[in-house]
Amino acid sequence: MNMAAHTVAVVAAVLAFVAGPVVAADVEAGKKKAQEVCAACHNLDGVSTIPENPKLAGQYPDYLAKALRDYKSGARKNPIMAGMAQGLSQKDIDDVSAYFASQSAVLATRM
C-alpha cells in the first residue's frame, strides 16, 4: 500500500470512529409524534391552512431539526413553539423532521 492510500485509509477509519453510529430517522414514528404534537397547527401532512403557521411539508429535514432544537434551547424565540419543542427528545426531533420532509411540498402562488 502506498503512502497516499494508507493516509486515506487512516483518515477514513478515524472519521468513522469519531462520527459514531448513525441512526436513521423513523418516518412512521415521526408521523405518530406529529399527530400528537404538530397536527393541530400544521396539519398532519404539514400543509397548514392557517396563514400564520408555516408549511412544513417538503422542508429539508436538517432545517426542521435545527429549528426545533433552537426553539427547545431558546435560541429561536416563539413561546408557542418553545413549549411544543420542550417535550421532544432528539430522536423525536429527527423523526418528526424526517416525516415532514417526506411529505409533498405545496407551492403557493401570489395573485
d(CA 61, CA 64): 5
What CATH architecture applies to the domain 25-102? Orthogonal Bundle (1.10)
Measured CA distances, 37 to 2, 13, 17, 20 (Å)? 55, 40, 35, 30
Residues 6+ apart with CB under 8 A from 95: 25, 26, 27, 29, 30, 33
**Cell 431539526, residue?**
65
d(CA 41, CA 7): 52
Q: What is the pLDDT of residue 75?
A: 98
pLDDT above 70 (res 14): no
Minimal CA–CA distance to 96: which of 22, 24, 44, 34? Answer: 34
CA angle 51, 53, 56 (to 5 degrees): 115
96-110 pLDDT tens trace: 999 999 999 987 666
C-alpha cell at 1: 500500500
Give domain limits for the chain.
25-102
Q: What is the pLDDT of residue 20?
A: 44
Residue 109: other Cβ atoms inside 10 A = 4
18-73 pLDDT tens trace: 444 456 899 999 999 999 999 999 999 999 999 999 999 999 999 999 999 999 99
